[in-house]
Amino acid sequence: MINEAAAWRWIDLALAFAAAAMIVYGVLVLGWSVFVVIALFWLENVVIGIFNVARMLISGARLGGAGLIAALALSAFFTVHYGMFTAVHGVFVVMLFGQPELGGALSGLFGPLTRMIDYLLADRDGWFAAVGITLLQAAAFFRWMVASRAPSASALPALMFAPYGRIVILHVTVIASGFLVDMLNMPILGAILLVALKLVFDIVSVNSSSSVAAPAKHAPVRRFIISREEDATRS
């Protein structure tokens, strides 16, 4: 079990480094700006939300018919709530960092988002980034499929709230750092610093989740050793 957990940890770390390497390549070779980097982080959140709905449906189906019905209801609520949350976050990204590159009047809720997505996917480089993000998240989804085969009644509530902490912590930090980068007026270095910041966040998240999961697997062995010691003392 320990070796299996370590293997999954290395897979998660490899996915985090692959995502960072892809964006660094875009900054250094393809000339991506700070706005494009932050917009790609936002797009990654959208992809994560889509795969999270798939996780919820699969977790519910593993529990049987009643579980699937509950998963359908929760995933519908999650889609609306997370969708609005992500949409408002995307508008903030456009208004704070995208206006110089997008140009023109930006108003409403979906107008700025449509302009940002069109800007990201306007050429082959943007499609390269979008496909890369999707493939990396698909790999993470497959990793979850293999690692969580056993049905769990607690999986649905946990998945319901799983993506929110990532958005709040990561993107508040990234947006604050983005203002600092703009003041330094060093776009290439600033974009790479943002990628490095996100990579550190991903590494810390992987390590913390691994350390939380590890003690629970050792508990039965510890209880068995204690019981054997108690038996020896009585005899």
Query: Which residue has tokens 């085969």?
Result: 149
pLDDT for 142-161, tens place per residue? 888 887 777 777 788 888 88
Residue length of the chain? 235
Cα–Cα distance for residue pair 71/87, rounded to 1 Å: 23
Specify whether the CB–CB gap between 217 and 2 falls below 8 A: yes
Residue 54 has pLDDT above 90, yes or no: yes
Q: How confident is the model at residue 218 (pLDDT cuts 50, 70, 90)?
A: very low
pLDDT for 193-205, tens place per residue? 888 888 888 888 7
Specify whether the CB–CB gap between 133 and 19 falls below 8 A: yes
What pTM was estimated for this model as a whole?
0.78
pLDDT for 8-23, tens place per residue? 778 888 888 888 888 8
| Model pLDDT, residue 3 | 65
| Model pLDDT, residue 34 | 83
Query: Which residue has tokens 């969580």?
Result: 148
Average pLDDT score over residue span 54-61: 92
Task: Express as a percent the part of the chain with pLDDT over 90.
Answer: 14
Contacts of 62 (CB under 8 A, 6+ apart): 151, 152
Q: How confident is the model at residue 228 (pLDDT cuts 50, 70, 90)?
A: very low
Average pLDDT score over residue span 117-128: 86
Specify whether the CB–CB gap between 67 and 60 falls below 8 A: yes
